[in-house]
Structure formats: structure tokens, C-alpha cells
């Protein structure tokens, strides 16, 4: 294996370690973000419950006022029954009274349904508020732990980054640019081993002549299928 290939392999080894650190930082942050998102969803749900209870309370008061008016109307019509002179007038009043009673009963049923819904909302809201209180405490605790974990990971990353910069400086400009481009396009793997004539990046067979040239270790070759840089290092038995 020539010196340039060794430098690239060493660089990629460092880069993959940095990638692992970045993945851990991302995972820590995403887990915390998920908890915060769930807490925000519960806060939104509590707000919606309270808004709905306010709407129902307003509707209940309106129905109660209407029912009071209808009951008063029934009493007024019943009093008037004593004054009617004809059966026709009496029939009309009786119908008006029955209609008003029926309408008042409908309002009463609606009020009962509203009260039942409000009762369920109060129970759900109380439970959500208790859970939210516990979640806030857990999120604050998790936030401190994540901050500490990320700080520790960043310290390790800083050390790796220093080594990475030193290693990259040892590689000529055109090759480092090619390496960076391949890493960005090939899921972080710019240079890969070839085992038994098979590229370990795309798992395609190399032409026999190219594999023989690779075994000599004096050239920087590319995989004809995935264009990654290639090297050969036998597996440890």
C-alpha cells in the first residue's frame, strides 16, 4: 500500500469516528426534542380543552336563558287559559304550551349533555395537567443530562477534528478535494477495501486486470462501478 493510500485510509478512519460522534450528538438532541415536542402537544391539548369548556359554558348559559324564557312563556300561556272564551282559542293555547314545554325539554337535554361533556373534559384536562407537570420536570432533568453528554461528545470531537486537520494537511490538494467529494456522495465512504476482487463499497467485482494492478499497491485506483478509491488489505484470520 503506497503512502498516499495509507494517508487516505487513516483520514477516513478519523472521519468515521467523527461521524459516529456527530450521530451520537444528533441522537441525544433528537431524543430531547421529541420529549419537548410531546410536552408542547400536551400543552396545546390542554389549551384546546379549556377553549372547548369555555365554548360549552357559553352555550350552556344561552340554553338556560332560553329555557327560562320558555318556562316563563308556558306559565304566561297557562294563566291566559283562564281567560279564553272559545275552544278554538283553548286548543291554540294548549298547542303553544306543549310546543314550549317540548322546546324547554330539548334545551334541558342539551344542557345535561353539555354538562357531561364538560365533566369529561375537566377529568381529561386535570390528568393532562398532572402529566404535563411531571413531564416538565423530566424534560428539565433530561435537558441537563443531554447538555452534559453533548459537551463531553464535543470535547472528543474537537480532539478528533484536530487530528483530522493534521492528517488532511498531509494529503495534496487535488486528492483531498476528490476524497471530500466522494465522501459527500458515497455515504461517508470515499476509500474502501477490496477483498477477493470485490469492492467493499458497492460489492461489485473488479475486472481481474484492475485487481492485479491494485495488489501491486503502487497506484491510486478507482472502482469502475462506484468510483470510490480502492486499497487492498487482507482480513485478519
The size of the chain, in residues, is 237
Give the Cα separation of 183 and 152 in Å (integer): 26
Domain ranges of the chain: 14-171, 176-231
Q: What is the pLDDT of residues 22-32, one digit of tens each?
A: 999 999 999 99
Give the Cα separation of 228 and 225 in Å (integer): 8
Q: For position 87, what pLDDT does the model report?
A: 86
- Please give the full DSSP string across 122-163, using - where no structure is assigned: HHHHHHHHHHHHHHHHHHHHHHHHHHHHHHHHHHHHHHHHHH
pTM of the model: 0.71
- Spatial CA neighbour of 9 closest among 236, 186, 229: 229
Which CATH topology does 14-171 take?
A: Helix Hairpins (1.10.287)
Q: What is the pLDDT of residues 169-225, one digit of tens each?
A: 999 899 999 999 999 999 999 999 999 999 999 999 999 999 999 998 888 999 999
Q: What is the pLDDT of residues 5-64, one digit of tens each?
A: 999 999 999 999 999 999 999 999 999 999 999 999 999 999 999 999 999 999 999 999
Q: For position 2, what pLDDT does the model report?
A: 84
Alpha-helical (H) ranges within the chain are 3-80, 87-169, 173-185, 208-216
C-alpha cell at 86: 272559545
C-alpha cell at 36: 419537548
β-bridge mates for residue 195, sequence order? 198
C-alpha cell at 216: 501491486
Read off the pLDDT of each residue in 89-98 and give the average, rounded to a whole number: 88
Look at the block and give the residue holding cell 327560562: 68
Amino acid at each position: 500500500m503506497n503512502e498516499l493510500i495509507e494517508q487516505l485510509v487513516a483520514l477516513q478512519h478519523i472521519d468515521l469516528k467523527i461521524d459516529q460522534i456527530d450521530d451520537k450528538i444528533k441522537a441525544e438532541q433528537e431524543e430531547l426534542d421529541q420529549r419537548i415536542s410531546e410536552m408542547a402537544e400536551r400543552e396545546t391539548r390542554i389549551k384546546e380543552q379549556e377553549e372547548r369548556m369555555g365554548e360549552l359554558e357559553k352555550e350552556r348559559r344561552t340554553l338556560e336563558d332560553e329555557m327560562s324564557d320558555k318556562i316563563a312563556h308556558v306559565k304566561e300561556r297557562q294563566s291566559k287559559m283562564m281567560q279564553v272564551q272559545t275552544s278554538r282559542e283553548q286548543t291554540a293555547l294548549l298547542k303553544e304550551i306543549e310546543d314550549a314545554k317540548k322546546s324547554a325539554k330539548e334545551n334541558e337535554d342539551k344542557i345535561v349533555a353539555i354538562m357531561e361533556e364538560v365533566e369529561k373534559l375537566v377529568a381529561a384536562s386535570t390528568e393532562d395537567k398532572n402529566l404535563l407537570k411531571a413531564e416538565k420536570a423530566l424534560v428539565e432533568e433530561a435537558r441537563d443530562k443531554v447538555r452534559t453528554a453533548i459537551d463531553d461528545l464535543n470535547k472528543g470531537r474537537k480532539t478528533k477534528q484536530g487530528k483530522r486537520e493534521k492528517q488532511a494537511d498531509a494529503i495534496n490538494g487535488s486528492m483531498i478535494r476528490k476524497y471530500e467529494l466522494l465522501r459527500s456522495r458515497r455515504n461517508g465512504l470515499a476509500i474502501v477495501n477490496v477483498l477477493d476482487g470485490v469492492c467493499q463499497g458497492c460489492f461489485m467485482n473488479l475486472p481481474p486486470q484492475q485487481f492485479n494492478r491494485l495488489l501491486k499497491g503502487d497506484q491510486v485506483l478507482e472502482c469502475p462501478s462506484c468510483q470510490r478509491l480502492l486499497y487492498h488489505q487482507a482480513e485478519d484470520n
